[in-house]
Structure 1
Amino acid sequence: MIETGRFAPSPSGRMHLGNLMCSLLAWLSAKQADGRVVLRIEDLDKARCPRMYADQLEADLSWLGLVWDEGGSGGGPDGPYYQSQRDEIYHAYYQKLEEQGLVYPCFCSRAQLHAASAPHREDGTPVYPGTCRRLTAEQRREKAAQRKPAMRLIVPEETVEFTDGHLGPYRENLKTDCGDFVLRRSDGVYAYQLAVVVDDALMGVTQVVRGADLLESTPRQLYLYRLLGLPAPRFYHLPLLLAEDGRRLSKRDGDVSLEQLQSRYSAPEIIGRLAFLAGLLDKPEPARPEELLAVFDWDKVPRTDVRLPRNLF
């Protein structure tokens, strides 16, 4: 089987250094195995992800030398490669879960969930207590007249375990650590958890390289792969790249965006500095992606969050 990696950015603004490091390591991991790379545009939220950002993203990746083999505006055999164009595909898989009796409407607002006494995850996200799962048919009709529901997946009292290719063993109890999770939002948009599972399977992705902030999503996704009878990829979660003051980098805050970097550095200078942060080079010297294939090794990549050194960029 040919190894297939992917870039799956959300085009809500110019990429920041954390996005770039993830893209570089995803490219190196796939290409070192003589594999291919798919570019998928995760623009489920159409209002936040206009097409101009997706086009800019392609131009930025090409400028850096992180060239993909299929996807994006170039298309390919497994398209469309824009999530905003794949609703019919998601709907077909959503119906499979609905037919198994695993889906129910949820009328809780975000404010209600955060105010509830139910436990919260480390990132502050509430663990859904199953409030609307227990509603009667009559109660659902009454609430539906007032508010459009999101649709949640019923999860069992089950611990899902897997071994991350970089961070090692991880386990999570679906019921107590997560709770029933959303498959389709109240505005009709299919949720990330369902979309990413369907897309990676149908696009033949065998390895997923992404930030450690998505590690907790993996058990939910593995459960969906199983329910839908789809092959699951291997996962490699990266440490997060933090600002000098320890904050997570954010497109919203304009943290070291590629737009700023391009005015000061060449593409090889940026790639070399990213490779240095990723533990692949001993010093931040210019490098092209293909030159790093000889030194790429997951064992060199840090396993804890990396704070940007002062004056590196």
Structure 2
Amino acid sequence: MSDHTSEPAAAPDTSGLPGPVRLRVAPSPTGDPHVGTAYMSLFNLAFARQQGGRFLLRIEDTDRARFREDSEQQVFDTLRWLGLGWDEGPDVGGPCAPYRQSERLTTYRPYVERLLADGHAYRCWCSTERLAEMRADQQACKQPTGYDRLCLGKSEEERRALPGFSETPVVRMRVPDDVDLAFEDLIRGRLTAPRPDDQVILKADGFPTYHLAVVVDDHEMGITHVVRGEEWISSTPKHVLLYRWLGLTPPAFAHMPLLRNENKSKISKRKNPEARLTWFEEQGYLPEALVNFLGLLAYPPAQDADGNDVEVFGFEDFVARFDWREVNPVGPIFDLKKLDWLNGVHLRALEPQDFTSRLLPFLQRDGVLGAAPSLGELGRLEQVAALIQTRIAHLTEATELVAPFYVADDAVEVAADARAQLKDDAPAVLDAAADALAALPDEHEGLLGSEPTFRAEAIEAALRGAVVDGLGIKPKFAFGPLRTAVSGRRVSPPLFESMEILGKTSTLARLAALRATL
């Protein structure tokens, strides 16, 4: 094998690319985006922003067998939902376009030809059947699996004379026996990986494999730091080899720990719904809560003046204190209970109007409100939202609490568990409450423009007098039938405030409707 290396034809000058550092995330559009894409994007973007650099999104779509057309748009949508935007990419352009590997096929060929000419790569005509038999034999003999170099040094004619020939060859890199397997990692220090076999770098369909494409693209896009999961540690010596053979300067490497379940297994989309990035939006998580959560994975929280952990923070806080040396290489546990807690904290911190606007899409999705709600419906939603903001941990939980405020008074559906907890005194409670509320002034009795008089304070005083004092029922039991009548649920927003929002007429109608069924 020749030791000669030279630059590939028309090698790009990357010195003029913007940004003192350039980082990228490069997902494959093979299904719903993995939560790991957001995890990697957060750490890449944090460092890029801290250093005043650039963050790129590249779509690695060379796996045509698993390619899914809608997946790319899901990547765009979910990362933007999280606020993890990019400076260059397929949809925004940039100086290194195109940013889809399938649109860069002519880019890779000169690099392959240079590797072939320098003896660092060779064509392989082995059929898939022959390779499968080879691996089976190696496994049966308990040998390491890897290509046996049958095609190395043979012409097409020489190889054709042997069994297991395929008309369309692949190209393999020729890994030397004395390959250097050590490299420096920003997180883990000096690492040593297992010796690779002669990896395929160009497939029979003309598409490059990940190993070639990632080296070429990262070089041509001026990537200074490659941040990826620890599963790629074993591939890094191959990539360092390719950089060396092509006369290119390798980037710095940082291999992030993998996200793990509580049983320490790797999170997978096949087994874990939360591995799908789209799942979090569907389940009513706030994007800022998920970013906060991802920032706590593999990274220590800040501490306040008293030495207490500060676990609630925003993206800018994370950027300000980011340091690769602080990343914990041990695989973090993906604790959904922690995420639920964070989501509740972030929900309660929203401004009322913001919280209301976040609820609206979920209420529309569930049919509580239409596509174009009226001003009156939106006004009522603001009132109801104020009652439930401290009572939910996910936006999806709002539907059950809000829906009773948008149904006809005679159409309130009483849940089975709510009806089952009604006691024998429920009719008396409903009758006494109805009489007490009927005696209150109407909503706007008095001068035009006066304050409404059917208010929570007056409602509470009237009901306590009629039910607690009048019937002698303990407060914790007194209002169950009224809650059921108003909302149809055992658990609802605060009762007296709910009655105020509904108004006197609707409240009395709902009490009467439940009373009629007892």
Query: What TM-score do you get using the length of structure 1 for normalisation?
Result: 0.89
Which residue, 275, 283, 287 being the options, matches 1:267?
287
Give the structure 2 partner of residue 112 of structure 1.
133
Q: Given that residues 57 and 90 in structure 2 are in contact (C-alpha distance below 8 angstroms), is that contact kept between their aligned partners in structure 1?
A: yes
Q: Deviations over 1:53-104 (max 9, x none)?
A: 1111011111111111111211111111000111100112111112223322
User: Which sits farther off after the overlay, 20-29 or 295-304?
Assistant: 295-304
Show the counterpart of 1:169: 190
Asked if the contact 2:138–2:145 (Cα under 8 Å) also holds between the matched residues in 1, the reply is: no
Distance 1:224 1:295, change over 3 A: same
Q: Would the aligned equivalents of 1:8 and 1:40 in 2 still touch at CA under 8 Å? A: yes
Check whether the contact 2:23–2:44 (CA below 8 A) recurs between aligned residues. yes
Letter paired with 2:263:
D
Q: Percent identity?
A: 35
Q: Distance in 2 between matches of 1:111 and 1:86?
A: 31
RMSD between superposed Cα atoms in Å: 2.7
Q: Deviations over 1:13-45 (max 9, x none)?
A: 222332221111111122221111111111111
Q: Say whether 1:16 aligns with 2:34.
A: yes
CA distance in 2, matches of 1:37, 1:125: 39
Matched, 1:223 2:249: no
CA separation of 1:56 and 1:111: change in aligned 2, threshold 3 A:
same
- Aligned partners of 2:33 and 2:74 also within 8 Å: no
The equivalences for 1:19-168 within 5 A come to 19-101=37-119, 102-107=121-126, 109=128, 110-117=131-138, 126-133=145-152, 135=154, 137-142=156-161, 146-160=166-180, 161-168=182-189
Question: How high is the TM-score relative to the length of structure 2?
Answer: 0.55
SS of 2:152's equivalent in the other structure is helix
User: Kindly tell me: are residues 255 and 111 of structure 1, through their superposed partners in 2, closer, same or farther at Cα, counting changes over 3 Å?
Assistant: farther
| Counterpart residue type for residue 141 of structure 1 | R
Could you say what secondary structure the match of 2:116 adopts? helix
What are the within-5 Å matches in structure 2 for residues 230-245 of structure 1? 230-245=248-263
Is the 8 Å Cα contact of residues 107 and 148 (structure 1) preserved in structure 2?
no
Alignment of 1:283-302 (within 5 A): 285-302=311-328
Q: What is the DSSP-based 3-state SS (H/G/I as helix, E as strand, rest coil) of the residue aligned with 2:240? A: helix
Which is richer in helix? 2
Unaligned runs of 5+ in 2: 1-18, 303-308, 340-518
Over residues 222-281 of structure 1, what are the superposed CA-to-partner deviations in whole Å (9 max), with x where a residue is unaligned? 110111122211000011111223222223445412222112310110011111122242
- Contact kept, 8 Å, 1:208 with 1:234, in 2: the verdict is yes
In structure 2, what is the equivalent of residue 205 of structure 1? Answer: 223
Say if 1:251 and 1:6 are closer, same or farther in 2 by CA, change over 3 A: same
| Residue-by-residue CA offset, 1:121-153 (whole Å, 9 max, x unaligned) | xxx983333233265654422458655332211
Higher relative contact order, structure no. (Cα contacts within 8 Å, ≥ 6 residues apart): 1
SS in 2 for 1:242: coil
Asked whether the equivalents of residues 228 and 254 of structure 2 are also in contact (C-alpha less than 8 Å), the reply is yes
Mapped partners of 2:273, 2:224: distance in 1? 31
SS at match of 2:168: coil
CA distance in 2, matches of 1:266, 1:84: 34
SS in 2 for 1:55: helix
Distance 2:240 2:75 in 1: 29
Query: Tell me, what secondary structure is at the counterpart of 1:195?
Result: helix
In structure 1, stretches of 5+ residues that fail to align are none
Q: State the AA in 2 paired with 1:100.
A: D
In 2, distance between residues paired with 1:42 and 1:249? 21
Give the residue type in structure 1 aligned to 2:279: Q
How far 1:284 sits from its partner (Å)?
Answer: 8.5
CA distance in 1, matches of 2:65, 2:179: 36
User: In structure 2, what is the Cα distance between the partners aligned to 1:89 and 1:255?
Assistant: 37
Q: 1:186 — aligned with what?
A: 204
Which deviates more, 143-152 or 2-11?
143-152
Partner Cα separation in structure 1 for residue 104 and residue 330 of structure 2: 35
Q: 1:304 corresponds to which residue? A: 330
Residue pair 1:39, 1:68 contacting (<8 A) in 2 also: yes
Instruction: Report the secondary structure of 1:71's partner residue.
Output: coil
Structure 1 range deviating more: 11-20 or 134-143: 134-143
What aligned pairs does 1:241-260 form with structure 2 within 5 A after superposition? 241-256=259-274, 257-260=276-279
Q: Any idea what the Cα deviations from partners look like across 1:255-313, whole Å, max 9, x if unmatched? A: 41222211231011001111112224266955432231122222322112222236234
Whether contact under 8 Å (2:273, 2:279) holds in the other structure is no
What is the DSSP-based 3-state SS (H/G/I as helix, E as strand, rest coil) of the residue aligned with 1:178?
Answer: coil
Larger Rg belongs to: 2
SS in 2 for 1:246: coil
Structure 1, residues 193-225: CA drift from partner, whole Å, max 9, x if none? Answer: 110000000001000100000011111001101
Task: Name the SS for the 1:5 alignment partner.
Answer: strand
Q: Distance in 1 between matches of 2:51 and 2:211?
A: 27
Q: Distance in 1 between matches of 2:204 and 2:226?
A: 28
Which structure carries more strand by proportion? 1
Question: Residue 156 of structure 1: CA displacement?
Answer: 0.8
Compare 194-203 and 69-78 and name the one that shifted more. 69-78
Mean Cα deviation higher: 281-290 or 34-43: 281-290
For residues 253 and 79 of structure 1, what CA distance do their matches in structure 2 show? 36
